[in-house]
Structure 1
Amino acid sequence: MNHSIMSGTRNHLIRQLVFFDEQYSIFYDQYVRDYGKDKQIVDGLVKRYKETLEKLLSCEDEVLFKSLQEITLLGSSVKVLFEEDGFEESFTVVYPTDIDPDNNRISFLSPIGRQLLLAGPEDSIILESPVGTNNVQIREIRFSYMSDFTA
């Protein structure tokens, strides 16, 4: 484990935490359209995400490094196995400004992104998407995202 890589990763996670602390209301107004049930869902997800980041950042580098393969964060690439047909596909969970459907970069606010964020390896979840519902198992998580969100 390279110390400078872990330092950069730690700084990146801190910037995510600062973003959600300082700019969440601006972000929310721009990207979440429903102020009812959707607001509760997004607020709860962001609250759990911030708590997770705080917990991870309190860990030593070795524990943090291992944890980056055990939980889906913004910037994680997640390989899922579709249980019905055995097909595997990878998604990278990103900020809404960084989506790229052609490369499976999905917003954490999208239906699939919300379900993958904070999930762990071997978790079985039901992915609900506009085209249907699929039972999937998370096979692998790799944290690699090094961009910053700007509203």
Structure 2
Amino acid sequence: MNHSLMYQGSRLQLVNQLVYFDDEKLNFLNQYFPEPNQKRRNVEKTISVYCSTLERIIKDLTEENLNSMALIGSQVDLRYLDDGSTESLTIVFPHRTDPNKNLISFLSPIGFQLLMAQTNENYQLVIPSGETLVRVENIKFVNHGDVH
């Protein structure tokens, strides 16, 4: 099946993420989680599930599949159900984090909880001040998932 040119950049980003985690997962984990503890094991497991998810999306890359789940490089539009306010965050690799542009690391507490979240689903997020219930209103892969 010939995929649209529109998806080639997205496909390349996703493939690059897979290659990066395949080649650099141990170095990545050692950099951010040098101690062999439960947090590191959780992140390692999540990365493995994430890579399987990427493989599945790449095999059938459509707009619907690309935007069905929060990936590294996805803009996630949230509605806070307690007060109705909204926020748009983009999940990125740690070195791309920029709070002024709402670019959050997938390793951050909120980014990690939203990674692989799905549109029109509610999530109870643990935040520094307690917990908050959010609804994922929209997900759009915006190609901010580069690994370098």
For the superposition of Structure 1 and Structure 2, which TM-score range results when normalised by the shorter chain? over 0.9
Q: For 2:18, give the aligned amino acid.
A: L
Which runs of structure 1 show a deviation greater than 6 angstroms over 4 or more consecutive aligned residues?
A: none
- Corresponding residue to 1:118 among 116, 119, 125: 116
Instruction: Tell me how far apart the structure 1 counterparts of residues 144 and 124 of structure 2 sit (CA, whole Å).
Output: 28
Task: From the superposition, tell whether residues 79 and 28 of structure 1 become closer, same or farther in structure 2 (CA, over 3 Å).
Answer: same
Q: For 1:108, give the aligned amino acid.
A: F
Displacement after TM superposition at 1:4 (Å): 2.2
- Retained in 1: the 8 A contact 2:77–2:86? yes
Q: Does 1:129 align with 2:130?
A: no
Instruction: Tell me how far apart the structure 2 counterparts of residues 36 and 12 of structure 1 sit (CA, whole Å).
Output: 30
Displacement after TM superposition at 1:33 (Å): 4.5
Aligned partner of 2:56 in structure 1 is 55
Q: Does 1:100 align with 2:102?
A: no
- Retained in 1: the 8 A contact 2:16–2:147? no
Give the aligned CA root-mean-square deviation in angstroms.
1.5
Aligned partner of 2:18 in structure 1 is 17
- Comparing 115-124 and 139-148, the one that deviates more: 139-148
Alignment gaps of 5+ in structure 2: none
Deviation per CA, 1:22-54, whole angstroms, max 9, x where unpaired?
Answer: 011111111224421101210111011000011
Instruction: Tell me how far apart the structure 1 counterparts of residues 22 and 123 of structure 2 sit (CA, whole Å).
Output: 29
- Corresponding residue to 1:144 among 142, 145, 148: 142
Map 1:22-61; keep pairs closer than 5 Å: 22-59=23-60, 61=61
Deviation per CA, 1:59-86, whole angstroms, max 9, x where unpaired?
Answer: 1x4xx22112210000000011100000
Q: Secondary structure at the match of 2:8?
A: helix
Q: Secondary structure at the match of 1:23?
A: helix
Task: From the superposition, tell whether residues 38 and 16 of structure 1 become closer, same or farther in structure 2 (CA, over 3 Å).
Answer: same
- Retained in 1: the 8 A contact 2:81–2:135? yes
Task: From the superposition, tell whether residues 31 and 146 of structure 1 become closer, same or farther in structure 2 (CA, over 3 Å).
Answer: same
- Retained in 1: the 8 A contact 2:73–2:146? no
TM-score by length of 1: 0.90
Alignment gaps of 5+ in structure 1: none
**Identical pairs, percent:** 34
